[in-house]
Amino acid sequence: MAERIRWSEFWYLYGRTLRQMRYPSVWAPLLIQALIAFVLAAWHYYLFSPITGPILSGWVRLISPEYSAAFFHYPAHFVLMPYYFGYARLIVGLFAEALLFGVVIDLFMALYRGEPPLLMTSFRKAAGRYLQLTLVWGAVIIILYLLNRYFFDFLQNVLGYSLESAPRRQVAMTGVIHLLTVLIYALCLFLLPSIMRGGESLGRIIRRALGVSLRHPFVAIGLVLLPYLVGLPASWAVSESAKIVSSFNPELVYILIVISIAVDVPVNFVLLGTSVKFFMDINQSDR
């Protein structure tokens, strides 16, 4: 495929991906990921469970002691829930997300080669590359976290004033953060497929993946952008927990977290499926 990809070629990638929806094995790792996230969300919802309550109390004090007292009071509990849940999901993601994505990627590769998708075979293959997957994807997660956590503070230090006093500039800088997130994700889009393809040293695997993104930037950005925009409303709503609590039923925050978890499943399915197909086509044409 050329760098100036035609819309018909985008539809081709999406069409090939959507054809694989009938295979439960491809959905299984993504559903496991969603189940883990839902358990974490429920853990932060049920404060006074005799089983998990003491662990949750220690967790919130470890992450942010200054907010821990408010977390156990209504309705501040729901204002702070996305904050603590986000950290829990980040930590679990550092150790489990790349492995589950690796399984899905290998299943897609098998399907695109015309082979049957064997869940345990793909799991063993991903598990054998767990260290590479986790180190590389962990670095991506940390970079995106630092961007979204500290970019506003960095800008305020550079500009010399608080963006909270300039709502229009705050909206503009939020747009910049989303743009940078998409660009970083697009640059790193083919890292996990390249690892699962294997056959070379980690350095060459990374260079191969970055090379595909850099040679085909518009394709990489396009493949990331649509799933990102689909998932954005739910994630944005969760981030506005204070406004939701003050204007609506506080429990709506928990419902929105669950919705965002559910939305992530088809979003990740499409993102992984299209990126794997494009990566395989590019490497096939380069031979």
Q: For residue 23, is pLDDT > 70?
A: yes
Residue 67 DSSP SS3: helix
Q: Given this model, what pLDDT does residue 2 score?
A: 44
pLDDT of the residue at 168: 76
pLDDT band at 158 (very low <50, low <70, confident <90, very high): confident
Rounded Cα distance between 282 and 275, Å, is 11
Domain ranges in the chain are 22-286
Do residues 71 and 250 touch, judged by C-beta distance below 8 A?
no
Instruction: Give the integer Cα–Cα distance in Å for 103 and 122.
Output: 5
Q: Report angle CA 80, 174, 247 to the nearest 5 degrees.
A: 40
Contact assessment for residue 213 and residue 188, using Cβ atoms and an 8 Å cutoff: yes
Given a cut of 60, is residue 1 above it in pLDDT? Answer: no
Mean pLDDT within 60-71: 91
**Distance of alpha carbon 123 from its chain centroid, rounded?**
20
Average pLDDT over residues 30-39: 97
Q: Which H helix or E strand runs over 20? A: none
SS3 152: helix
Mean pLDDT on 25-45: 97
Render pLDDT for 225-281 as a digit per residue (tens, 0 to 9): 999 999 999 888 998 899 999 989 999 999 999 999 999 999 999 999 999 999 999
pLDDT in tens, 177-221: 999 999 999 999 999 999 999 878 899 999 999 999 999 999 999
Residues 6 or more apart from 237 whose CB is under 8 A from it? 244, 256, 260
Across the chain, mean pLDDT equals: 91
The Cβ-side half-sphere exposure at 7, using a 13 Å CA radius, reads 0
12 is written with which tokens? 């081709």
Do the Cβ atoms of 108 and 30 come closer than 8 Å?
no
pLDDT of residue 73 exceeding 50, the answer is yes
Give 174's pLDDT tier (boundaries 50, 70, 90).
Answer: confident
